[in-house]
Amino acid sequence: MSEAGVREHKPRPLNQRVLLVGLAVVAPLVAVLTMNLGRNPHVIGSPLVGRAAPDFSLRPLDGGEPVTLASLRGRPVVINFWATWCVPCFQEHALLVSTARSLAERARFIGVIYEDSEEQVRGFLARQGSAYPSLVDPGSRTAIAFGIFGVPETFFIDAEGRIAAKHVGPLDAQSLEAKLRQAGLAP
């Protein structure tokens, strides 16, 4: 008596060619995914590190002669792009001020105001204290030249005017010290 309706399924042999083609298509995709899934797309690697820092000539908030990068040559310079509406900028402000004071002439600290009103900045600095000039950047031309895509971003420039390091996000004491060393701050 035949077993009507019941077919035996022979296991089909593995088609090597299909497997190979499939792997050839999938492997690069998996490679790209594994390399990039962990990365934060907003942290764009800066091509400026190692290059000469963009020149600028910006008016300080409190008035006076425009500050140029050329005038700061000869010692490490820390350029901190910040704004009063930025919470991480607020978090790192005290550290920047105290470090600037303690380093005195060994390094120059400069703040560049990013998309903020001068009034707000004055009020903030009056309340939180300041130890170095903050410069006004109309139209964010200098921010664009430095490749800023958010605040805070801090650039560490060596005595020859080359960008030695960049820090995205609020600074902590360790990073600040390490990057100052990279910019040539003598211990």
Residues 6+ apart with CB under 8 A from 74: 159
**What is the separation of C-alpha 93 from the centre of its chain, rounded to a whole number of angstroms?**
16
How many Å is the Cα radius of gyration of the chain?
A: 27
Tokens representing residue 187 in the block: 């211990």
Among 5, 11, 13, 45, the residue binding another protein under the rule CB under 8 A is 45
Closest CB 175 distance from another protein, rounded Å: 22
Taking CB under 8 A as the rule, does residue 59 contact another protein?
no
Report in angstroms the alpha-carbon separations of 165 from 20, 23, 60, 88. 45, 41, 24, 19
Contacting range for another protein; rule: CB under 8 A; set: 41-49, 72-80, 92-100, 171-179: 41-49
Binding mask 108-147 for another protein (x = CB under 8 A): -------x-----------------------xxx-xxxxx
Closest CB 21 distance from another protein, rounded Å: 7
Closest CB 41 distance from another protein, rounded Å: 6
Among 72, 77, 97, 148, the residue binding another protein under the rule CB under 8 A is 148
5 vs 187, beta carbon nearer another protein:
5
Q: How is the beta sheet containing 77-82 ordered, strand by strand?
A: 67-68, 57-60, 134-136, 108-113, 77-82, 153-157, 163-168
First to last CA, the chain: 95
Helix (H) or strand (E) holding 16: helix 16-36
Residue identified by tokens 């010290």 is 177
Taking CB under 8 A as the rule, does residue 43 contact another protein?
no
Residue list 3-32, contact with another protein (CB under 8 A): 21
92 vs 153, beta carbon nearer another protein:
153
100 vs 143, beta carbon nearer another protein:
143
Interface residues with another protein (CB under 8 A)? 21, 41-42, 44-48, 54-56, 115, 139-141, 143-150
